[in-house]
Amino acid sequence: MKINIRLFLFYSFFLFLSVSFAQEGRRNQLIYPKISKKPATEIHYGIKIVDEYSNLNKLEDSVVKDWFKAQDSLAESYFAKNDLMKKYLDRFKKLQNNSQSTVSMIRISEAGNYFYLKNDDSLGNEKLFFKEKLANNEKELFDLSQYSKGAITITYLRPSFDGKKIAIGYNENGDFTSKVLIYDLETNKILEDVITHINPDFGV
């Protein structure tokens, strides 16, 4: 899944570059570095091929090196002044960070609903997420740090058979025992009853 996300971001990035470059290029005519042609003819499988810029194959040639450097400087200068590019890079970094989030403790209800934890690196805590089906968009259900002020470790997740409720076991401040609360997906609320003094290793 992470590989697919990375590939999507990679190809989206270069698609953006192509479109943006074409649009800006029409508005602002860029002055491209020039290099002289040095045509050369080669025969491949009985077919005559003319390479108009055969000199570009000589990568160690100082003239060719200077031409590549000039092309590179032109591209860097163009994108450094492109506000749309700056916004896209910020968005790209945000999506990239999201794709690297750690997913753990995946649970599937009898109804085929998916529940899992995802670590929020910016806040340093885990949040509970939900997908009605695997192909659906995820939904953030619960941030336990908003419920308890201590250092929290989620030790247990167990959805009900119909997927409408989920038991969340957590440990506060490294205590030996845990607490278990019930989250109701229909009301998006935590039920009042809380189970206390449960061993954190009571099961998964």
Q: pLDDT tens, 72-121?
A: 888 888 878 888 877 877 777 666 655 556 788 889 888 888 999 888 66
Query: For residue 71, what are its two tokens?
Result: 């092309």
Q: Whole-angstrom Cα distance, residue 132 to residue 118?
A: 16
Sign of CA dihedral 32, 35, 39, 45: negative
Q: What string of DSSP letters covers 32-70?
A: ------B-EEEEETTEEEEETBGGGG-TT-HHHHHHHHH
Q: Whole-angstrom Cα distance, residue 100 to residue 85?
A: 22
pLDDT of residue 135: 80
**pLDDT-derived band at 15, boundaries 50, 70, 90:** low
pLDDT greater at residue 149 or residue 38: 38
pLDDT of residue 47: 92
pLDDT of residue 171: 81
Residue pLDDT, tens place only, 51-61: 988 888 888 88
Mean pLDDT of the chain: 78
Residue pLDDT, tens place only, 136-158: 888 888 887 777 766 777 888 89
pLDDT greater at residue 165 or residue 99: 165
Helix 83-99 / helix 2-27 crossing angle, nearest 10 deg: 180
The H-or-E segment that residue 17 falls in is helix 2-27
Mean pLDDT computed over 197-203 = 59
pLDDT of residue 204: 45
pLDDT of residue 161: 85
pLDDT over 50 at 70, yes or no: yes
pTM score, whole prediction: 0.46
Q: Whole-angstrom Cα distance, residue 94 to residue 136?
A: 21
Residue % of the chain over a pLDDT of 90: 7
Q: Whole-angstrom Cα distance, residue 97 to residue 122?
A: 10
**For residue 204, how far is the Cα from the chain centroid?**
29
State how beta strands 125-131 and 139-143 pair: antiparallel
pLDDT of residue 66: 92
State how beta strands 178-184 and 139-143 pair: unpaired
pLDDT over 70 at 8, yes or no: no
Mean pLDDT computed over 184-198 = 86
